[in-house]
Structure 1
Amino acid sequence: MLSDLLGLTGRRVLSVRHEPVGSGQMAGSFRLTPTYDDGDGLPPTMVAKIAVGDASQRQFASGVFRNEVMFYRDLAPTLDVPVPACHAAEISTDATEFVLLLQDMAPAVQGDQIAGCTPQEARAVAVAAAGLHAPRWCDESLFDMRGLALPGHDDRLLMDSVLEPMAEAFRSRFDLGRREAAAIDWLVAEAGPWLERKPSTFAVIHSDLRIDNVLFGPGDTVTVVDWQTITVGNPLRDIAFLLSTSLSIADRREHERDIVGAYHKALVEKGVTGYSSEECWADYVDSLIQAPMIIVFGCGAAIPTERGDRMFRVMLERSAAAIDDLVPGALG
């Protein structure tokens, strides 16, 4: 099977060892160490990402499985964001089973969402994200790809139908402080109009750009992974989510303007025109709602774990502080 996935001709995989890696909650990742009959030029290790969970969980997640396979097959070659090389990308007809064989980025290590990251690390990720956004900036051909579209009124109605129940489930699951509870209330009140409003700029966005989804390597290199939640939207949704959930509150307050400025400079260097630094900052503030939205929906969709619960609490605490700091009157 592995020989077929790698497209080997005249050679084959004799055996393979595997060990779990990462902390994914929608899919499982395993480091594979194959033994070949002739390994010349073949990867000594690779990471296999596959669907996990029972049939109902995999059916629920079929859309995100399809997204990630599409990203590696069709989108990644058109972008400039650092990602692992993809050796194989296969998915079943109903999208409940998939396999990705990806470059093993060791000795790079996964970021820790709970511990957070340094301002220097956040800056490196934000600049890397410019390589995701700039190449397809306001590119309407994106809408020709399955599942990629700007949200419209029907999407708002669908979200409105599920957001309040999921927010209520989140409230009942966690003992929230005043500011965190107010952030959930603000999300429920504002998410519908925000989602339906057409952004002035758009690009492919990761939608879950946080340091759990980044590998940090030698020499301050970064690699972005976990492309299950790609969509089209305001690019600053990625930057707002990254900074408001991955930096400590104190570090964000001190460094976010500089980091957003570095991101904007990288956009310009990669060819984006007609987009000022003031517009970029305004979009950053307007996109802070991305964090509580992803936290509530992510918590509801993921298999509950002790680490996951800790992570969602920390992310909400940080993002609620950002909203309180930058969106006057939002949290009372």
Structure 2
Amino acid sequence: MSQPKIPLTADTIDAAWLNQAFDGSVATITNVKAERLGEGVGLLGEVTRLHLNYAANSSGPQPASMIAKCQAAAPGNVFMSQAMGFYERESAFYKQFSQSINLRVPFCYYTDVDPAGAPYIVLLEEITNPRMVDQVAGANFDDSAAILDQAVKLHSHFWDNELLWSLSWLPPMNNPLYRAAREMAEPKLESFIAKWSPHVAADTMQWMRELTPKYPDMVDWWVEQGNATFSHTDFRADNFLFGGSAGEGVVTVLDFQLSARHVGMWDVANFLGQSVTIENRREWEKTLVRRYYDGLITAGVSNYSWDRCWRDYRYCLLHQAWSQVAVSDIDPGNDRGRALLHAMITRVFAAAHDLQSGDLLSEF
């Protein structure tokens, strides 16, 4: 059976569309009701719950609901996702690893992406009744430790090995589109500095000015450092579910749109620099980064020293601060989205300042 036309929004998905997409892998659906999910969820795509009803005596799995991910509502967010290949990456990840990776991720019932990079659709298992961490409020210590344990699982599984290098759809950090982020950032830089200078340390804004023209050199430098792995690259609290139908104590990892071949420390810095309050990050970061490092060594990673690990953490914080400049025209969508962006920016700039991550600028 041919694949159905990819929907622009989940509320246009009906029973006929789903039955064509599933082609018998799920029981025959008779009715579907779409329910958009919470404020500030999915800056780069719309996230919708589909409530499903089935024909009597129909054979096959009958999940009561699924989660549908479609392209973003804001045209600018779609353009960026299309240009960067975000939707293609997530679709490819779920096709290949939905059932074979050593992380708990939602089962993927169906995925497709247009050859142009948008629109796209992913239909996922819904993890029901989970506990979630409010990223705006900030994660507590125990949840932070559990999330970073997932980073150990992911990174050690792919650490600079043949499996990692076989993933043709997973770009390196210095791929042409990421190198071109300098051109994306340059026209936004001064407006970003004007808007955010009242909220962050002055030295960090000077670092943004110095780093912008050198950005392509920096991503080349990162690749030359080696120790590449599968980086989730959006390792924020909003992308984790605790427990629920996945099982008590299980952490489910969501959202692989931004995944890349990069240093694993990106994910650790991404989480601690954006999902933990400034005060708690200052108190916990050394302990939690060490927990991550010890986990890697226990999992069999070698030729990676603690000094290199801590250096990578410091330098990733500066890189992530600069990344906020490049994507500063993303539409946050609503009040929760705006609060989330404010927390992410102020926290990561504070972390870069605290650890004097501007030292990275002397490396290339």
- TM-score w.r.t. the length of structure 1 is 0.88
Displacement, 1:296? 2.7
Q: Distance in 1 between matches of 2:25 and 2:228?
A: 42
Displacement, 1:149? 3.5
What residue is the counterpart of 1:205 in the other structure? 231
What residue is the counterpart of 1:48 in the other structure? 68
What residue is the counterpart of 2:89 in the other structure? 67
What residue is the counterpart of 1:299 in the other structure? 328
Displacement, 1:12? 1.2
Q: 1:104 aligns with which of 120, 123, 126?
A: 126
Displacement, 1:278? 3.1
Displacement, 1:285? 1.6
Q: Distance in 2 between matches of 1:10 and 1:101?
A: 12
**1:7 and 2:35 matched:** no
Instruction: For structure 1, list consecutive stretches of 5 or more residues without a partner in the other structure.
Output: none
* 8 Å CA contact retained: 2:43, 2:77: no
Q: Distance in 2 between matches of 1:227 and 1:40?
A: 28
The alpha-carbon distance between structure 1 residues 56 and 146, as it changes in their structure 2 partners (threshold 3 A), is: farther
State how 1:76-155 maps to structure 2 within 5 Å.
Answer: 76-77=98-99, 79-139=101-161, 142-152=164-174
* 3-state DSSP of counterpart to 2:42: coil
- TM-score w.r.t. the length of structure 2 is 0.81
The alpha-carbon distance between structure 1 residues 308 and 247, as it changes in their structure 2 partners (threshold 3 A), is: same
Superposed CA deviations along residues 285-319 of structure 1, whole A, max 9, x for unmatched, are: 22112431333334323454332222222222222
Displacement, 1:141? 5.2
* 8 Å CA contact retained: 1:323, 1:330: no
State how 1:281-296 maps to structure 2 within 5 Å.
Answer: 281-296=310-325
* 3-state DSSP of counterpart to 2:280: helix
Superposed CA deviations along residues 117-150 of structure 1, whole A, max 9, x for unmatched, are: 1011111111101121111111355445444343
Instruction: For structure 2, list consecutive stretches of 5 or more residues without a partner in the other structure.
Output: 1-16
What residue is the counterpart of 2:354 in the other structure? 325
**1:163 and 2:189 matched:** no
* 8 Å CA contact retained: 1:203, 1:235: yes
What residue is the counterpart of 1:312 in the other structure? 341
Displacement, 1:239? 0.3
Displacement, 1:57? 4.9
Displacement, 1:244? 1.2
**1:264 and 2:255 matched:** no
The alpha-carbon distance between structure 1 residues 152 and 328, as it changes in their structure 2 partners (threshold 3 A), is: closer
Q: 1:242 aligns with which of 247, 271, 284?
A: 271
Q: Distance in 2 between matches of 1:9 and 1:205?
A: 31
* 3-state DSSP of counterpart to 1:244: helix
The alpha-carbon distance between structure 1 residues 311 and 257, as it changes in their structure 2 partners (threshold 3 A), is: same
Superposed CA deviations along residues 10-44 of structure 1, whole A, max 9, x for unmatched, are: 94100012211241111111111211113663212
Amino acid at match of 1:97: P
State how 1:177-256 maps to structure 2 within 5 Å.
Answer: 177-179=199-201, 181-190=202-211, 192=215, 193-197=217-221, 198-217=224-243, 219-256=248-285
Amino acid at match of 2:35: E
Q: Distance in 2 between matches of 1:318 and 1:152?
A: 25
Identity between Structure 1 and Structure 2 (%)? 25
Q: Distance in 1 between matches of 2:316 and 2:59?
A: 48
**1:26 and 2:44 matched:** yes
The aligned length equals 330
What residue is the counterpart of 2:14 in the other structure? none
Amino acid at match of 1:190: L
The worse-fitting range, judged by mean Cα deviation, of 96-105 and 185-194 is 185-194
* 8 Å CA contact retained: 1:208, 1:294: no
Displacement, 1:217? 2.7
Displacement, 1:233? 0.7
* 3-state DSSP of counterpart to 1:160: helix
Superposed CA deviations along residues 208-258 of structure 1, whole A, max 9, x for unmatched, are: 111122223354432221211111111101101100111112211221111
The alpha-carbon distance between structure 1 residues 324 and 41, as it changes in their structure 2 partners (threshold 3 A), is: same
* 8 Å CA contact retained: 1:167, 1:184: no
The worse-fitting range, judged by mean Cα deviation, of 64-73 and 151-160 is 151-160
Q: Distance in 2 between matches of 1:94 and 1:155?
A: 15
Q: 1:16 aligns with which of 32, 50, 75?
A: 32
The alpha-carbon distance between structure 1 residues 173 and 130, as it changes in their structure 2 partners (threshold 3 A), is: same
